[in-house]
Amino acid sequence: MSKLFDSFQLGDLTLQNRIVMSPLTRARAGKGDVPTPLMADYYAQRASAGLLISEATNVSPNSRPFDQAPGLYTNAQVQGWREVTSRVHAAGGKIVAQLWHGGRIGAMGLLNWNDPISPSAVNDDLDGLNVWGRLESGNYVRVTATPSRAMTTDEIKATIQEYQQAARNAVEAGFDGVEIHAASGYLPHQFLSAHVNRRDDEYGGSVEKRARFLEEIIDAVGEVLPLTRVGVRISPYAAYNNALDDQVVEMYTHLARLFEAKGVAFVHIADTNGWFGQPDLLKVLEILKGNYHGVSIANGGLTVESAQQLIEEDTVPLVAFGRYFIANPDLVERIRSGSSLNALQEREIYGVGAEGYTDYPFLG
């Protein structure tokens, strides 16, 4: 039997297997970005994963890169998530909330006509940013990003407090932990990027100063729950949303040492370029090697076979699947039994109801 199905101790959480469901934006939240009973059905269906990481969840109304993605900043949202976590736990699963802020990945029309915020108001690449909204027809379409403005120091501090409050809300909602989304060109990644972050204050310039925003988020979240329940998602080489850097090795060596010193629960490697057949996973693992000795989760363009190889060879202890979990609520059992996988319905990844969401068939 493959080691994929061995239990794993993640801090004080016992995972039933080594298979993680990666965060998957599905845009099914209701009015006020409140999680719905349908979302509870969706997550409960997939609770056989060793760990579920929630879809990207906004820490603030100033985030919202995707229309109708859920939040964790109102009481109604907390109550909606509580139903989700209760259903997952009743099914024997574990779930953490991914904390998300879009920063410059935004549009005024999704932000109550406020400007998106960013480290340095870099706006020369708006056509390369991925912002999505829903038409009245129900179709989900890409929206043109609108120019961001640079955050003041006070706004940076206030945003860090929004992460802390979202973590507090996640605990109240029954999540087993949180993951800080510092990948894919979103706000923490923007601060890490020398291309996007051109500040000359304590949050810009050197590697250490560009990493300060993320470090202070980790510290703030760590005041709410143990860092053994807090993970960080990174994508050092990602071209997605243009948070580029010519100091990747220097920055992520510094971050690896920071994660080690803080004692975070895991580092989730979002190998975004792996989606397009150009994986960077081994390069990222080489940066982490010798600097971070905690748990790494591999994600991005993995097949069942490549994931099994990573586990069997002890390259990483955990592997995460995204699209496979969209189409296969019983993915763990399908892998265990060697069964075929359901095909993904691309047009229904983002939608308004059960179709392409909770109606995928189970084995038998």
Write out the catalytic residue numbers.
186
Give the DSSP letter string of 332-345.
Answer: HHHHHHTPPPPPP-
Q: What are 94's two structure tokens?
A: 């574990």
Question: Taking the alpha carbons of 279, 281, 284, 286 in that order, is the dihedral positive or negative?
Answer: negative
Q: Is 127 buried (19+), middle (13-18) or exposed (0-12) by CB count in 10 A?
A: exposed
- Under DSSP, is residue 229 helix (H, G, I), strand (E, B) or coil? helix
Q: Say if residues 267 and 234 touch (Cβ distance below 8 Å).
A: yes
Q: For residues 33, 22, 98 and 312, what is the CA-based torsion angle, rounded to 10 degrees?
A: 170
Pairing mode, strands 230-234 and 178-181: parallel
| Measured CA distances, 225 to 51, 174, 264, 308, 331 (Å) | 18, 12, 11, 32, 31
Alpha helices by DSSP H, 193-347:
207-210, 212-222, 248-262, 281-288, 304-312, 323-327, 331-337
Strands (DSSP E) contained in 72-139 are 95-100, 117-118, 131-134
Closest CA to 39 of 21, 61, 55, 53: 55
Question: Taking the alpha carbons of 350, 355, 358, 361 in that order, is the dihedral positive or negative?
Answer: negative
Q: Say if residues 310 and 2 touch (Cβ distance below 8 Å).
A: no
Cα 13 from Cα 178, distance rounded (Å):
13
Pairing mode, strands 131-134 and 117-118: unpaired
